[in-house]
A and B are shown apart, each in its own frame.
Chain A
Amino acid sequence: MFSDFLYLLRQSGLKISMTEWMALCEGLDKGLHGATFSGFYYLCRAVLVKSETDFDRFDRCFLHYFKDVPFEQEVSQELMDWLDRPDAPMGIYDAQQAELNEMLSETEIERMFHERMDEQKEQHNCGNYWVGTHGMSIFGNSGLSPVGIRVGGDGASKRAFRVAGERRFRDFRGDNTLDTRQFQVALRHLRQFSGLVDLPPTEFDVDNTIKDTCDGGGTLKVRYKRPRKNTVKVLLLMDSGGSMEYYSQLCSALFQAVSKTRHFKDLKVFYFHNCIYSRLYNEPSLLHTQTTPTDWVLNNIPSDYKVIFVGDAQMAPHELVTGFAYQNGQGESVRRSGLAWLELFRNRHRHAIWLNPSDRPTWGEYWTRTYDAIEALFPMFPLTVDGLEEGMKKLLVR
């Protein structure tokens, strides 16, 4: 009957299965929508959408799909006839009334609307009180009021859309940037339990000891099991200073979340400025006295560490491709570009991602060049809930 709606929702990224669709049909069959359009909207939402982060997506699809459904309930045909007056002269704009109207809340307007419906007995156009056209009133169509409920006219108002159209759940969308707690939730995806084979059974297994002892009629039989621990080790490399200042709050939220997440087996954090060169900073303040040679990090941190870069990947191209000379372990002076350093990391660590708080620049070739070069090197994800989750999944792929 309206199965296209299902496909539209699925297309927009909502994972709706047949189970849910059948539940909706059953609900409609049992009259749960109460024969109203708003009821239908809430029924659909309750059954089909399973997270407040998807409400906004659902609202948009709903608006899109049902935008042509005529709105007829609650408004009598008589009133609709009165309102069908595209020829009525335009009323006078009243700034004071407009201001008053703007102060009304949605619920107030709706309540007043119901009152008017009961009171109104004839046609009233160009005014500021009744439901009518071309006036300052908050109800009707072709009017001048900045806010209000549209009734009749070309657009044929749909009251359910007052709800859907508000898009109140925009802030809950998963692709919004986020706070510490949400980061922590996303980081929990990053866990990989020690395989059951690669560790000796050293942990005392209470349950099985009791069970086996009881099965043996009371003869003590001690059992051990292999410990189940998260084996994920993380090397976090964060860009600091310069263009990253804009995102400092976001990055500190991520940092706090990562350091609070205790389930990593090990966590090492270093900082860099713009790109990675011969030295990594120990503190975000980028003090030259507290640094670690990048060579040391590359040689001493085992390759099974999962590497997370955080940076906007935007710098002057020469900062990425030219690089600076430095003294290597043998005391020779070597010139190595930022890109080459990054390649060293990529070659050593199989699992590495780049989280970017900034979008790809839309203007100018200058900043996009380094962005694209780094994106070609590492899988890049936006620093949002969704992005972080995607990134965590990427880090876990064997």
Chain B
Amino acid sequence: MSQTFKGSQDYVASQELMGAVNIAMVLQKPLLIKGEPGTGKTVLAEAIAKSLGKELIIWNIKSTTKAQDGLYVYDVVQRLYDSQFGEGGVDNIEKYVKLGKLGEAFTSEQQLILLIDEIDKADLEFPNDLLWELDRMEFHIPETGRTVTAKHRPIVVITSNAEKELPDAFLRRCVFHYIEFPGEELMSEIVRVHFPALDSHLLQQVLAAFYRIRALPQIKKKPSTSEIIDWIQALVHGGFDPDKIVQEVPHLGVLLKKNEDIEAMRRSWR
């Protein structure tokens, strides 16, 4: 594979992250991404798709999602209806087999990016049920006797919030990367991508206040990248005096979402 991922216009990736993405692509293994909430795990897949010019398929995992849903669904109820109301084509089971996200990615004519988002939301056994499919990139539909094999191995990105431990057998097949919370330098780069025209003095003040808040040990839910972006939006919109930001921290509710955090911050801020 000659293509390499170098970040995209609106996604700033650290050197290590780019390395991990490329390792996963070359080794043809799923890339497992973990990290603090709001560090851009989900957006990463979009950025990869954009920078490689490939289509992106997102499979959002919920607590009720089963591995089978991603492969195919055999719509027996529809078939029953059709048979009772005399619709044609009831004998053709293929008509009632609907491919899931994984099946879609396998049958695509072009290579694409498959994002399995928040895999830890599903049942504990979920990742194990996908081992074979992700390894071999194929699955079998017993109802029709068809085997769906990937025409082009999709680039699989999996995100997890570490709510559940993933099984070892599954982990063994992945390339792992932990997105660290960006440092001040990288953060200013990220903010620049979102607000290209932002006054640099304002940015400096915002970052100073932001990292000071994050460093407070009393804060339970630390503000993250998405929150600083919202905060800047609010500050710019309100036309706040940059020199007063560190002192007064306006629109605090955008940064801190818990009552006790806001109180703790107010107490320790001088």
Contacts and interface: CB of A to CB of B under 8 A. Distances in A.
A43 interface: yes
Nearest to B35: A52
B162 interface: yes
Contacts of A47: 23, 27, 175-176
A46 B162 contact: no
A372 B79 CA distance: 68
B19 A39 contact: yes
Interface in A74-127: 107
Interface string B111-138: 0000000000000100000000000000
Given A46-B175, A50-B174, A210 B27 contact: no
A46 B83 contact: no
Interface residues of A, number: 30
Given A218-B80, A218-B84, A32 B172 contact: no
A318 interface: no
A213 B80 contact: yes
A188 interface: yes
B79 to A, nearest CB: 7
A255 interface: no
Contacts of A30: 26-27
B173 interface: yes
Interface in A372-389: none
B176 A46 contact: yes
A218 B83 contact: yes
Interface residues of B, number: 35
Interface stretch (A15-23, A276-284, A305-313, A329-337): A15-23
A51 B19 CA distance: 17
A15 B168 contact: yes
Interface string B68-94: 000000001101100110000000000
B34 interface: yes
Nearest to A22: B27
A23 B31 CA distance: 13
A27 B168 contact: no
Nearest to B76: A214
Given A43-B19, A210-B77, A107 B183 contact: yes
Contact of B178 (A26, A52, A217): A52
Contacts of B76: 210-211, 214
Contacts of A46: 19-20, 23-24, 175-177
Contacts of A55: 178
A355 B206 CA distance: 44
A324 B88 CA distance: 85
B164 interface: yes
B79 A27 contact: no
A15 B172 CA distance: 9
Contacts of B165: 185
Contacts of B180: 168
A342 interface: no
A178 interface: no
A17 B174 CA distance: 12
A301 B138 CA distance: 52
A161 interface: no
Contact of A50 (B23, B164, B171): B171
B150 interface: no
B167 to A, nearest CB: 11
A20 B164 contact: no
A181 to B, nearest CB: 8
B77 A23 contact: no
B29 interface: yes
A185 B163 contact: yes
A156 interface: no
Contacts of A367: none
A32 B26 contact: yes
Nearest to B16: A42
Interface in B230-246: none
B20 to A, nearest CB: 5
B22 A42 contact: no
B49 interface: no
B109 interface: no
A39 B15 CA distance: 10
A49 interface: yes
Given A107-B185, A214-B79, A50 B27 contact: no
B213 interface: no
B255 interface: no
Contacts of B57: none
A260 to B, nearest CB: 13
B32 interface: yes
Interface in A1-59: 15, 17, 19-20, 23, 26-27, 30, 32, 39, 42-43, 46-47, 49-52, 55
A213 B79 CA distance: 12
| Most chain A CB neighbours (cut-off 10 Å) among B19, B29, B32, B183 | B19
Nearest to B81: A218
Q: State the 9 A-B residue pairs at the shortest beta-carbon distance, nearest first.
A: A50-B171, A52-B178, A214-B76, A46-B20, A50-B176, A42-B19, A214-B80, A46-B175, A19-B172
